[in-house]
Copies of this chain bind each other. A is one copy, B any other.
Amino acid sequence: MLSKAQNKYIRSLTQQKFRNEYKVFIAEGSKIAQEWLSATGHLQMIIATEEWAEQHKAIITKHAEAEFHIVNESELAAISTLHTPNQVMLIVPMPQRKEIPVLKEWYLALDNIQDPGNMGTIIRIADWFGINYIVCAPGSADVYNPKVVQSAMGGHLRVNIYEAPLASFLQSVSLPSFAAALDGENVYGMQRRDAGVLIIGNESKGISPDVMAMATKKITIPRRGGAESLNAGVSAGILCAMLLPC
Contacts and interface: CB of A to CB of B under 8 A. Distances in A.
Interface stretch (A59-67, A74-82, A123-131): A123-131
B224 A124 contact: no
A246 B234 contact: no
Most chain B CB atoms below 10 A, which of A226, A231, A233, A246: A231
A163 to B, nearest CB: 21
A227 B188 CA distance: 25
Contacts of A231: 121, 124-125, 151, 233, 237
Nearest to A120: B231
Nearest to A222: B246
B244 A241 contact: no
Given A117-B117, A222-B246, A246-B188, A153 B237 contact: no
Contact of A223 (B126, B128, B238, B242): B128
A52 B116 CA distance: 28
Nearest to A241: B238
Contact of A237 (B188, B230, B244): B230
Interface of A: 117, 121, 124-131, 151, 153-155, 157-158, 188, 221-231, 233-238, 241-242, 244-246
